[in-house]
Amino acid sequence: MILFWSSVTASLVAVAGCGYLVVAIILVARSVRERAHPRVAAMPAVTVLKPLHGDEPGLLDNLSSFCGQDYPGPIQVVFGVQDPGDGAVAVVEHLQETQAARDLDLVIETKVHGLNRKVSNLVNMAPSIRHDVIVLADSDMRVDPGYLSRVIASFDEPGVGAVTCLYYGVPVGGMWAGLSALAVNAHFLPGVVFGLALGLARPCFGSTLALRRETLAEIGGFIAFVDCLADDYAMGVALRARGCTIAIPPFAIAHMCTQTSAREFWRHELRWARTIRSIDPIGYAGSIIAHPLPWALIAALLGTGSTAFLPAIAMAVVSIVCRMALLRQVEQVYALPPQAYWLVPARDLLSFVLFVVSFLGRDVSWKGHRFRMVAGGSWVTDRGSHAP
């Protein structure tokens, strides 16, 4: 009898999860209101900051997309590395040679200011900023020519002090990159859209953070975040604490997923999960209903031999269909290439395993170093060792 009612309970959680997926489908359909390039009232000069670490797959195309913007104002792009032998240096030098007419600067500075090497890189790059509007974007992002105009247009909205962007996943490689892209497209992006619609999410993403130089100075500059692992989130908190509204335009940009092995995939996903858990423990725990397939399978396992078994199996099928429908909606709304639907059940089960494992510790691995999440996900302590 205990197993029967446990099966029923798990089935109810699965039903709630399918309900969440249906609502997410509706909200995603409404999330993009306009695709046309907006008219920009002001055309301020912009400095784009691109902190780099290694010649990752697709890096040249990623960086070229930021250099080739259809924007009427002056654009300076500053690339930064902390190692003269970094493979990204050759990529930037190639861009400087082939796009000599553009304002492209390369900063090579080995000084480390804190635990977060990306932010240390930004600190080193900051003296090269020449314009009053700054756009920071991670190296694995790729954009269309109208991206910058749409971002800058968001500053015309009353009270906006910064702009961030939603993003979708594009796999570059094999199965592991495909699974990573599915995590973004079928889980993360719809979850953010759901949270924004219900007023539960207040994100700030490394995909894009645009702000004025004076606003950056008001929150302490980049140096204030050199010991934050979740630096984008921490900057968002600091901006909102000063009364800034962070606008999220109704479009998304591409995050290139490049995981090539199970180990790389696991480290990336676990760091992501534990970071979100530390930032928003209550909301993260509540996302337990966003995993209907595992709950339906648990219900089937517990209900084996009872009348609860067949309904649980049916619910498992429904949950897969709902997840695929959600993925299809994301694909259509954001004009994505065909998705790896055959990986959807495996992705759902992996997401649930990661959800459970994320509660079993606080250690994360990032760029070859080990850290422990503390103080709400913002601060980390270096464990003093390289990841194995």
The residue whose two tokens read 């009612």 is 5
**Higher-scoring residue by pLDDT: 223, 284:** 223
Residue 344, C-beta contacts closer than 8 angstroms, at least 6 positions apart: 182, 186, 320, 323, 324, 327
Q: How many angstroms separate the CA atoms of 135 and 67, rounded?
A: 13
pLDDT for residue 16 = 95
Which tokens sit at 232? Answer: 């984008």
Angle between helices 292-302 and 309-333 (to 10 degrees): 170
| E strand or H helix that includes residue 82 | none
Torsions phi, psi of 387, nearest 5?
-65, 140
The pLDDT of residue 323: 97
Can you tell me the distance from the alpha carbon of 311 to that of 255, in angstroms, rounded to the nearest whole number?
A: 38
pLDDT for the residue 375: 52
Q: How far apart are CA 304 and CA 21, in angstroms?
A: 26
pLDDT, tens digit, for every residue of 76-135? 999 999 999 999 999 999 999 999 889 999 999 999 998 888 999 999 999 999 999 999
Q: What is the residue whose two structure tokens read 């304002």?
A: 103
Residue 156: what pLDDT?
87
Residue type at 167 in one-letter notation: Y
Query: Which residue, among 292, 331, 321, has the nearest Cα to 28 in the 3D structure?
Result: 331
- Residue that is written with structure tokens 């570059």 in the block: 172
Residue 169 and residue 339: Cα distance in Å, rounded?
10
> Sheet harboring 369-374: ordered strands across?
363-366, 369-374, 379-386
In the numeric block, the tokens 């539960």 are attached to 200
pLDDT at 217 over 60: yes
| Beta-ladder partners of 348 | none
Whether the predicted pLDDT of 388 surpasses 50: no
CA distance 266 to 270: 6
List, in sequence order, the alpha helices (H) in the chain. 2-30, 59-67, 88-98, 117-125, 147-153, 175-182, 189-197, 213-218, 231-241, 262-279, 281-286, 292-302, 309-333, 344-357
CB 153 within 8 A of CB 163: no
Position 201 scores a pLDDT of 83
142: pLDDT strictly greater than 70: yes
Give pTM, 2 decimals: 0.89
As given in the structure block, the two tokens for residue 6 are 């446990």
329-341 residue pLDDT tens: 999 999 998 889 9
Give residue-wise pLDDT tens across range 181-199.
999 999 999 999 999 998 8
Query: What are the start and end residues of each CATH 3.90.550.10 domain in the chain?
Result: 46-260
Listed in sequence order, the DSSP H helices in 38-87 are 59-67
Fold for domain 46-260? Answer: Spore Coat Polysaccharide Biosynthesis Protein SpsA; Chain A (3.90.550)
Sort 33 into a burial class: Cβ within 10 Å, 0-12 / 13-18 / 19+.
exposed
Q: Are 146 and 37 in contact (CB under 8 A)?
A: yes
* pLDDT exceeds 90 at position 66: yes
Confidence of residue 386 (pLDDT cuts 50, 70, 90): very low
Instruction: Supply the pLDDT for residue 292.
Output: 96
**How far is CA 238 from each of CA 51, 125, 229, 260, 275, rounded to the nearest angstrom?**
21, 21, 15, 35, 18
How many Cα atoms sit within 13 Å of 121 on the Cβ side? 25
What tens digit of pLDDT does each residue of 33-58 get? 644 445 555 689 999 999 999 999 99
Contact 205, 93 (CB under 8 A): no
Residue 382 in this model has a pLDDT that exceeds 70: no
Whether pLDDT at 243 is above 50 = yes
Treating both helix axes as pointing N-terminal to C-terminal, what angle do 189-197 and 2-30 enclose, rounded to 10 degrees? 80
- What average pLDDT does this structure show over 283-294? 92
Determine the Cα–Cα distance for residues 84 and 87; give it in Å rounded to an integer: 9
